[in-house]
Chains A and B, each alone.
Chain A
């Protein structure tokens, strides 16, 4: 099954070679055709239960889909949010919400690709968010701002975390936040979307909520308990993004291995030199270690067991493996690594993101130091 899934995704991706992704990168364009085909073939909805028209698979299989996309030279970041937000909707959404949205998400008519948590003054410190949703009759009125909210312009739905009780008025700082499933098609012009230009082709935005009205039935689960709902989604996100990093690492080691075998200098292939060989081999080993940790985290997640430590750790190891592989590939390709035609420089820029997103690796270290090892808290 796992191998079959990999093969099928690889076949699909062969229709979208590096020249496709390179052109999108230059034009800063969204991979519309790719996302459509991936949705129609059902791979984006693998986490949606079969009863709602999805594949009914686990986070492990979802990770494999994303890994293979990135390994092929593509960039799964254009569409991964549907997968990592799914847990929040599946585990905490109402039957009515699931019936209303899941079948259309499953067949690709609706896109749930935006996840709005981060704010200019609240990044990793999520409980400091100040975007506020005030209940007024049968609706909520939202005011505040968010930043680095990706794919809003290519999404129909957005998961939003907002305070419904101010931080000063709750006993525990994790209380008083709520999750909403915002239908971006009906949100009106009180939500302003301001693109943030970045060094990679990744549509990301600053959002300004100027008394945006959303119906009260957009609330997921119970009011005030949103932080816990979001946390399980964040574990999913770490596992899935780790999978993308593993795919990136393997992309670099695949390309570097091939090039090192073909490129001849001083009458022999450069790969014959251990100085060229070892960094690629080392990065490959690290990517396999990351995959083993990812599989462990995914299995725990799929059994609905606590997986915070494993999810964080696999994200750190995978992002470092990808970055190590990216640098090794750059060295193997020499000057050609920087030439756009070769694709390495694009993937190099893209792979860098996951050392700091969706959580900085330093915060992973601090999580493990404090929560796994029990060392004194720094904050």
Chain B
């Protein structure tokens, strides 16, 4: 079975973010980029599903600039079969991204489309469900493990205090979160083979974003800690502060 995995190139999660001069984006100088970790889980899930089935291909799709090609190569080195780079601007509008990706996926015979539950940079969790709507397919979000069984895909989601099992008819869209799919690293053969795998670059369809970022701000510095007192006699005051000021109890 063919599977499409949608990836996003994001700043390394250890990046110390600085706001740019316009105040609407981040300084990109010296920033290291990686595949969004949630997308790595999705890719690992796709590779295992292909290995379990013994047939089919895993295709990667991303929207971004030429540099996103590196992220796709990394996915190819991990074991994906081919990749498509939709050359275009990534906006904060999840729907615009979903439409651009849908335009590519509509023409592809792939009953399963996987994405990370969210991009590690903007955390919006929009593109997966929106893509499902644009494609007219059912969607399960935050899936920790899935298995294709005939014409359906069984998904496990972790809910508060339990596990939810869903069954979706194929074709379907799943967003994957941390769980069963600890991503593999590329072997040397994988890296060498990736150089020869097809990486197609085409222009993304133009979608006018319906959402713009007005302003970005770093969170305020955390106030320093406060010592309420010492020993058991300080406990009532501590509890009162936690309840009334910090509102965590």
Residues of A within 8 A of B (CB): 1, 3-5, 7-8, 11-12, 40-43, 45-46, 50, 55-57
Contact = CB atoms under 8 A, between A and B. Distances in A.
Contacts of B194: 4
Contact of B188 (A3, A7, A11, A45): A45
A55 B192 contact: yes
Contacts of A8: 77, 185-188, 190-191
A43 B190 CA distance: 11
B185 A11 contact: yes
Interface string B204-244: 00000000000000000000000000000000000000000
A43 B192 CA distance: 11
Nearest to B191: A4
B73 interface: yes
A50 B192 contact: yes
Contact of A1 (B185, B187, B190, B195): B195
B192 A4 contact: no
8 contacts: A1-B191, A3-B70, A4-B194, A8-B186, A42-B189, A46-B188, A50-B192, A57-B188
A11 B195 CA distance: 20
A4 B188 contact: no
Looking at B188, B190, B194, which has the most chain A CB atoms within 10 Å of its CB? Answer: B188
Contact of A43 (B70, B74, B188, B195): B188
Looking at A3, A5, A7, which has the most chain B CB atoms within 10 Å of its CB? Answer: A7
A4 B73 contact: yes
Contacts of A46: 188
Nearest to A50: B192
A50 B189 CA distance: 9
Ranked nearest first, the 6 interchain pairs of A and B with the lowest CB-CB distance are A42-B188, A11-B185, A8-B186, A41-B187, A55-B188, A8-B185
Contact of B77 (A4, A50, A57): A4
Nearest to A11: B185
Contacts of A57: 188
Given A7-B74, A8-B77, A41 B192 contact: no
Contacts of B74: 4, 7
**Main SS class of interface, B:** helix
Interface string B170-210: 00000000000000011111111011000000000000000
B187 A42 contact: yes
B97 to A, nearest CB: 25
A5 B185 contact: no
A20 to B, nearest CB: 17
Interface of B: 70, 73-74, 77, 185-192, 194-195
A5 B189 CA distance: 11
Contacts of A3: 70
Contacts, number: 42
Contacts of B190: 8
A72 to B, nearest CB: 13
A4 B189 contact: no
B77 A55 contact: no
Contacts of B77: 4, 8
Given A1-B195, A45-B188, A50-B192, 16 more contacts: A1-B191, A4-B70, A4-B73, A4-B186, A8-B77, A8-B187, A8-B188, A8-B190, A11-B186, A41-B185, A41-B187, A42-B188, A43-B187, A43-B188, A55-B188, A56-B192
A69 to B, nearest CB: 14
Contacts of A4: 70, 73-74, 77, 186, 191, 194
A24 to B, nearest CB: 22
Contacts of A42: 187-189
Looking at A3, A8, A46, A57, which has the most chain B CB atoms within 10 Å of its CB? Answer: A8
Contacts of B187: 8, 40-43
Contacts of A40: 187
A265 to B, nearest CB: 18
A8 B163 CA distance: 33
Looking at B74, B77, B185, B195, which has the most chain A CB atoms within 10 Å of its CB? Answer: B185
Contacts of B191: 1, 4-5, 8
A6 B194 CA distance: 15
A296 to B, nearest CB: 24
A65 to B, nearest CB: 9
A50 B196 CA distance: 14
A4 B194 CA distance: 11
Contacts of B188: 5, 8, 41-43, 45-46, 55, 57
A42 B187 CA distance: 6
B189 A55 contact: yes
A7 B195 CA distance: 16
A93 B176 CA distance: 51
Nearest to B184: A11
Nearest to B74: A4
Nearest to B78: A8
A157 to B, nearest CB: 21
A45 B194 CA distance: 18
Contacts of B195: 1
A7 B187 CA distance: 11
Contacts of A43: 187-188
Nearest to B187: A41
B230 to A, nearest CB: 20
A17 B194 CA distance: 28
Nearest to A56: B192
A17 to B, nearest CB: 15
Contacts of B73: 4
A4 B35 CA distance: 12
